[in-house]
Amino acid sequence: MTAAASARQILTRLHEVMASRLHAQGKLDQVVEIIGECLSSEVCSIYLLREGMLELYATRGLNKTAVHVTRMAIGEGLTGTIADNVETLNLAEAKAHPDFSYRPETGEDKFHSFAGVPIVYRERAVGVLCVQHVDPRRYEEVEIEALQTTAMVLSELITNAELVDEEEALSLSPQQSGTQTLSGLTLVRGLGAGVAAYHQPRVQITQVMADDIEAERQRVYRAFDKMREQIDGLTNQADFGVGGEHEEVLETYKMFAYDEGWSRRINEAIDSGLTAEAAIERVQQHTRMRMREIDDPLLADRMHDLEDLANRLLRIVSGQIGTAAQQGLRNDTILIARNLGPAELLEYDRRRLKGVILEEGSLTAHVVIVARAMGVPVLGRASRARSTIREGDEILLDATAATATVRPSGQMADAFAQRFAKSKERQAAYAELRDVEPFTRCGTRVTVMMNAGLRDDMSALAMTGADGVGLFRTEFQFLVSATLPQRERQLKLYRDVLDAAGDKPVIFRTVDIGGDKSVPYLASDIADNDENPAMGWRALRLALTREGLMKAQARALLEAAAGRSLYVMFPMVSEVWEFDAAKKVFDEQLEFLRSKKKMVPEQIHFGAMLEVPALAEMLDLLVPRLSFLSIGTNDLTQFLFAADRGNPALAERYDWLSPPIFRFLRRVVQGTVGSNIDLGVCGEMGGRRLEALALLGIGVRRLSITPAAVGPIKELVRKVDLAEITDAMNQWLSEPGVNLREALAHWAAEREIETE
Ligand code: PEP
Ligand code: MG
């Protein structure tokens, strides 16, 4: 008989038992008999979780008097170890295992071999199914698979019959629900507490046994087709990121997605009588077990990829394909994902989203910029997140300290709440600076503006007292939209933003799409095959060729600012003619509006972003054309160091606060001296205190930063003497081998200037 046929025989018999009118205990008693017989095992036992202990519920072969008497703690003995680790054990000689614990009342001393599998509910073990045999032999793979299948059926039975308390199952014993600390990399500082939700929720399997095997086969067949299609089209998806490490992952995805062995094993599991969902999960359990036996970190990574893919397949087959955002957040939530795109993050309800934990992620990736703008703390590079955190776990996220506490104790939660209150107090202190102008100690007024991208962001202008919006990322409207926003929609947004800003200036940056900000409806335009999208067909390059796009935006901006001042900034200007060409589009639209006797802006100020290093060599020609110039350090630094801003592996490799970057920036500042141009920095760098200090020290007098940083940076500005920091920076930048970060921190500490 084939493995599938023997498993099917077991399942058919289990099916009869499950469908019978027996009460739950009666069914368990039958199950141990069937399994014992089919696997020729003298002993078969079922332990279920009750009041935090594993209690012997049914047995064939052990003393019946031990039923409901023998109880093991999670982690105690072989049974407890299986539950604790949620993993299978298969031993020829049970007594040789270090965790073996002998229970005399069971009469198990004569049995040598032992195999046990966890009964899993929502990723937690709620019981253990085990078999024992007199002969010292390891069980065959097909036998272990039969046990695992039975355990799935039992999981359905015991939860339906409420044999284990669901609440208890989810909170479990100290070992399974014990506190764990994850560490990673601070991407957006801040504290947040909530329950864990996976961006792509795990699928709950509700039916294990198939009613129609052929139908299940067809379902899985179609799901494979769809998954392969998705994987093939994944290269350009924002959630997957681009370049470097991602390509390797994609290759692995492809390898697994087309792996005949994998689909064959799933089909065999279906042949044994399982539904498509149960079959996928069964095969996955089995693979997990095999992988655990091989202690190799590279394989562990691949296992992650396979888990992703199995989850994807399960989601397709079950139709449970929504993200947590689409299902709606019900509680204060900490979102868990491998990586996210900016548009995906924007789908979440800001009031409930209290933090994000990413297994990947890097400091200047757009998703992080969006999170910062939303005021959501983000911990990145938390590589163990998915193996540690389960859906619904309580989490205290301290992104500032780059840690997350999973399943905290009451005491920890209290201490966290106190810190939370303190940090709120600090924020309140910054709020008091709202109406205080940021003059330096020596009396120079520094302009502190904020970055924004959505209508909602504008409320931060009044809250922070920022001097205006130094960078309005107009592409955010494109990112959150399912279709290309038409001119009318753009016009409405820009008008609302200007209304909200009142007298304060708003610098609108024309669309910067491409790179890690891809929009599906423009995908065919944004060269699908760009190998280096950040250096590819994006921003102004794209806008200048999609003339309609640029014209529509120009018209929308000109009309929105009718009768007021309009500030327009072009992204990724690499050569002077690009600025001229972009301005020409605006000039033509202005002419058109005038010819139609429409009201136009009172003044229009054109500016450029300096984020492509080549432009720095052309300042003498560029500057006379501009009324302002903003240095985009997010892109500039990635190009200067040739280090992709979205690549997690490079996230910690180079420090922005380094002599080459600051020497370069100083040269740009000096290149504008003597002109009337308004020079500023609008990259994330300006929102960090040490970096801001260094920027002041090389002559930058206008910063545009994330709203949350406005208070802290104003406070910093008020403590600085510009002549002093300028001297210090000149000194450090002229010495070889200076650690700029340390030097600045020391300098600030001497003057009691806070830098955290
Ligand atoms: C920058 O590159 O520094 C910048 C501000 O633009 P973005 O982050 O949107 O690319
Ligand atoms: Mg940029």
Of the pLDDT bands very low, low, confident and very high (cuts 50, 70, 90), residue 743 is very high
CA dist 120 and 468 (Å) reads: 55
Range among 508-517, 542-551, 603-612 rated most confident: 603-612
Mean pLDDT value across residues 354-373: 82
Residue 331 amino acid letter: N
* pLDDT of 21 above 90: no
Task: Name which residue sits closest to atom 4 of ligand 1, judged by CA.
Answer: 632
**Confidence band, pLDDT 50/70/90 cuts, at residue 171:** low
CA distance 539 to 573: 9
CA dihedral 283, 285, 286, 288 (to 10 degrees): 120
Q: Which ligand is nearest to the CA of 680?
A: 1
Cβ-in-10-Å burial (0-12, 13-18, 19+) of 61 comes to buried
**For residue 442, how far is its CA from the centre of ligand 2 (angstroms)?**
32
Q: What is the pLDDT of residue 364?
A: 67
**CA-closest residue to ligand 1 atom 6:** 632
| 632 in contact with ligand 1, CB cutoff 6 A | yes
Joined tokens for residue 338: 């491998």
> How far is residue 718's CA from residue 721's CA, in Å, rounded to a whole number?
8
Query: Residue 57 above 70 pLDDT?
Result: yes
C-alpha R_g of the chain: 31
Say which residues have a Cβ less than 8 Å from residue 162's Cβ, sequence separation at least 6: none
Residue 173 has pLDDT above 50, yes or no: no
Q: Regarding predicted confidence, which is higher, 286 or 605?
A: 605
pLDDT exceeds 50 at position 244 = no
Residue in 19, 3, 1 with CA at minimum distance from that of residue 269: 3
Give the pLDDT of residue 4: 61
Neighbours of 679 (CB within 10 A): 22
For the segment 576-597, the average pLDDT, to the nearest whole number, is: 97
Lowest mean pLDDT among 50-54, 536-540, 681-685: 536-540
Atom of ligand 1 nearest to the CA of 475: 9
Q: How far apart are alpha carbons 385 and 393 in whole angstroms? A: 12
Closest listed ligand to the CA of 573 = 2
What spacing in Å lies between the alpha carbon of 82 and ligand 2's midpoint? 51
Look at residues 409, 353, 411 and name the one whose alpha carbon lies nearest to residue 193.
353
Question: Residue 416 carries which side chain, given as an amino acid letter?
Answer: F
Query: pLDDT-based confidence at 307, cuts 50/70/90?
Result: confident
367 lines ligand 1 (CB under 6 A): no
- Tell me what pLDDT residue 536 has: 80
Per-residue pLDDT, averaged over 74-92, amounts to 90
Query: pLDDT, tens digit, for every residue of 320-340?
Result: 878 888 888 999 999 999 888
**Three-state DSSP class for residue 190:** coil
CA distances, 420 to each of 150, 193, 268, 427, 527 (Å)? 47, 9, 53, 11, 45
8 near 271, Cβ under 8 Å? Answer: yes
**Burial environment of residue 295 by CB neighbours within 10 A (0 to 12, 13 to 18, 19 or more):** exposed
For ligand 1, the distance from its centroid to the CA atom of residue 275, given in whole angstroms, is: 49
516-567 tens-digit pLDDT:
666 766 755 555 566 677 788 788 888 888 888 999 999 999 999 999 999 9
Position 103 pLDDT exceeds 80: yes
For residue 219, what pLDDT is reported? 95
Average pLDDT on 705-731 reads: 95
Residue with tokens 């086969």: 217
Is the CB of 517 within 6 Å of ligand 1? no
pLDDT(243) > 70: no
Q: What is the pLDDT of residue 165?
A: 66
Closest-lying ligand 1 atom to the alpha carbon of residue 471: 5
Cα 635 to ligand 2 centre (Å):
5
Backbone angles phi, psi at 41, to 5 degrees: -110, 135
- Compute the C-alpha angle 665/573/658, nearest 5°: 20
Give me ligand 2 centre to Cα 539, in Å.
9
Q: 417-426, long-range: CB within 8 Å, 24+ apart, which pairs?
A: 417/193, 419/191, 420/191, 420/193, 423/190, 423/191
Question: How far is 623 from 606, CA to CA, in rounded Å?
Answer: 11
How far apart, in Å, are the Cα atoms of 273 and each of 229, 513, 700? 28, 49, 70
pLDDT at residue 471 above 90? Answer: yes
The answer to whether residue 302 scores a pLDDT higher than 90 is: no
- Whether residue 635 is predicted with pLDDT greater than 50 in this model: the reply is yes
The pLDDT value given to residue 239: 43
Q: How confident is the model at residue 241 (pLDDT cuts 50, 70, 90)?
A: very low
How much distance in Å is there from the Cα of 566 to the middle of ligand 1? 20
Residue pair 144/90 in contact (Cβ under 8 Å)? The answer is yes
* pLDDT exceeds cutoff 90 at 168: no
Q: Give the pLDDT confidence score for residue 89 in this predicted structure.
A: 92
**Residue of minimum CA distance from atom 9 in ligand 1:** 473
Query: Could you give the percent of the chain with pLDDT greater than 70?
Result: 91
Q: In which band, very low, low, confident or very high, does the pLDDT at 316 lie, cut at 50, 70 and 90?
A: very high
Distance, in Å, from the CA atom of 483 to the CA atom of 20, rounded to the nearest integer, reads 54
- The CA distances from residue 419 to 190, 246, 400, 411, in Å, are 11, 37, 12, 13
Q: Which residues contact 142 (CB under 8 A, 6 or more apart)?
A: 3, 6, 7
Return the best residue to mutate from 187, 362, 363, 364 for the ligand 1 pocket (most ligand atoms within 8 A of CB): 364
CB count in 10 Å sphere of residue 528: 13
Q: Rounded mean pLDDT of 350-371?
A: 84
Is pLDDT above 60 for 105? yes
- Give the mean pLDDT of the chain: 88
What DSSP assignment string belongs to 340-406?
A: --HHHHHTS-TTTEEEEEESS--TTSHHHHHHHHHT--EEE--TTHHHH--TT-EEEEETTTTEEEE
H or E stretch at 187: strand 185-188
Tokens standing for residue 78? 């072989």
CA distance from start to end of the chain: 69
Per-residue pLDDT at 240 = 46
> Rounded distance, CA 165 to CA 333, Å?
24
Mean pLDDT value of segment 117-132: 88
- Beta-bridge partners for 133: 113
* pLDDT score of 137: 85
Asked if pLDDT for residue 683 goes beyond 70, the answer is yes
**131-137-141 Cα angle (round to 5):** 70
Locate the ligand 1 atom nearest the alpha carbon of residue 611 and give its number: 2
State the Cα–Cα distance between residues 142 and 157, nearest whole angstrom.
23
In short, whether 475's Cβ falls inside 6 Å of ligand 1 is no
Q: What's the CA-to-centroid distance between 623 and ligand 2, angstroms?
A: 19
Supply the pLDDT for residue 246.
52
Least confident of 190-194, 196-200, 532-536, 694-698: 532-536
Q: How is 196-229 classified by DSSP, letter by letter?
A: EEESSPPPPP---B-S-HHHHHHHHHHHHHHHHH
Q: Which atom of ligand 1 is nearest to the CA of 633?
A: 3
C-alpha–C-alpha distance, residues 160 and 196, integer Å = 25
In this prediction, residue 3 carries a pLDDT of 59
Phi, psi torsion values for 358, nearest 5 degrees: -115, 145
Judge if the beta carbon of residue 635 lies within 6 A of ligand 1.
Answer: yes
Q: How confident is the model at residue 309 (pLDDT cuts 50, 70, 90)?
A: confident
At residue 296 the predicted structure's pLDDT band, cuts being 50, 70 and 90, is: low
Q: What is the pLDDT of residue 233?
A: 74
Residue 523 confidence (pLDDT): 57
What residues contact 446, with CB distance under 8 A and at least 6 apart? 438, 439, 440, 696, 701, 702, 703, 717
Q: Which ligand is nearest to the CA of 681?
A: 1
Arithmetic mean of pLDDT, 212-236: 87
pLDDT at 703: 98
∠588-590-596 over CA atoms, to 5°?
105
The answer to whether 352 and 331 are in contact (CB under 8 A) is yes
